[in-house]
Every structure is written in structure tokens, then in C-alpha cells.
Amino acid sequence: MTDGWGTHRQGLGSGFTGWEPTPQPAKQSHPAMHVLLFVLTLFSMMAAGSMQQGVNPLQGLDQLVHLVEGWPFASTLLAILTVHEFGHYFAARRWGVKASLPYFLPLPFVSFLGTLGAVIRIRSPIPNKQALLDIGAAGPLSGFVVAVTACIV
């Protein structure tokens, strides 16, 4: 029995026993969107890094040299964030789970970080608990390796 929301499964004598969502065709995102969000996040993080150095990146909009002051901060944090998200992405791919590329979320001039982070969209069911654990843990573990390396360097 369906009602547009999905398929209802009924058991013997007990009525409703579960709900299965109606499969939706996966919408492919455009790679240009991911690149644009990455570049915007890079610039907003460079602005945040330059503000932490005491430089006002808005002081001379014609001079992008002010953003260069934030490069060490932005490159380090963006490397950690990128590796973290791709850890999730590659673990999902290894388990046969469809996932999007990371969507980076810029937050210019409001946050001392310059970003809200990044997310990936899981586009197919996760097959079991082990896959869920692997996909969930891959991001923090891979990001941790980059963070420790950044602290040493």
C-alpha cells in the first residue's frame, strides 16, 4: 500500500510494521558548485586569518595583498577540513555508498574561523553498522593525522 510518502509494510495481524521510503533518483551536483564554494571558503578563511594577524582585509579592496596575511591560517585549517571530508567520502565509496563531493560552507567576516565547515551528502543507504562506523570514523581520523602533522611542522 502506498500513499506517496513511501511503501508501508504490514505484518501478520499486527498492522503497520515499518516504512520504506520511495526511491528517488539521485541528483548529480555540478562540480563547478563545489569548486566555487571551496574558493569562497578559502577567501573567507584567508580574511579571518588576516584579521587574526591584526590586518583589516577590507582596508583596501583594490589590494588583495592583505589577504595574503591569512594564508598560513587558511591553508592549514582548510587542509584539515578537506582531508576530513574526503576521509568520509572515500570510506563511503569503499563501502559502495554513494556520496557527494564536499560542500564547503564559507562564513566571511562573521566568524574568527571564516567557515562553517563542510558537509557531504550520503545519497544511498548505508548497508550495515560496520560501514556506518567506518564512514563516520574515517573523517576525524584522517583529519587528525593532518592536524598532528600541522602541529609538528
Q: Which amino acid is at 105?
A: L
Which three cell numbers, joined as nine digits, stand for 32? 563547478
Confidence (pLDDT) at 2: 47
Residue at 66 is within a domain: yes
- In contact, 74 and 42? CB cutoff 8 Å: yes
Q: What phi, psi does 99 have (nearest 5°)?
A: -145, 150
Q: Which amino acid is at 58?
A: L
Higher pLDDT among residues 9 and 44, named by residue:
44
Confidence (pLDDT) at 12: 53
Residue at 95 is within a domain: yes
Residue at 67 is within a domain: yes
C-alpha span between 13 and 10 (Å, rounded): 8
Domain count, the chain: 1
Average pLDDT over residues 133-141: 97
Q: How would residue 142 be classed by pLDDT, with cut points 50, 70 and 90?
A: very high
Residue at 1 is within a domain: no
Residue at 131 is within a domain: yes
Residue at 148 is within a domain: yes
Q: Which residue segment(s) compose the domain that 73 sits in?
A: 29-152
The answer to whether the predicted template modeling score (pTM) of the entire model surpasses 0.85 is no
Residue at 115 is within a domain: yes
Residue at 8 is within a domain: no
The per-residue pLDDT for range 10-56, each reduced to its tens digit, is 555 555 555 556 556 656 778 899 999 999 999 999 989 988 888 87
- In contact, 129 and 112? CB cutoff 8 Å: no
Phi-psi region of 109 (alpha: psi -120 to 50; beta: other; left: phi over 0): left
Average pLDDT over residues 102-129: 91
Residue among 109, 57, 102 at smallest CA distance from 79: 102
The per-residue pLDDT for range 46-96, each reduced to its tens digit, is 989 988 888 877 776 666 777 888 899 999 999 999 999 999 999 999 999
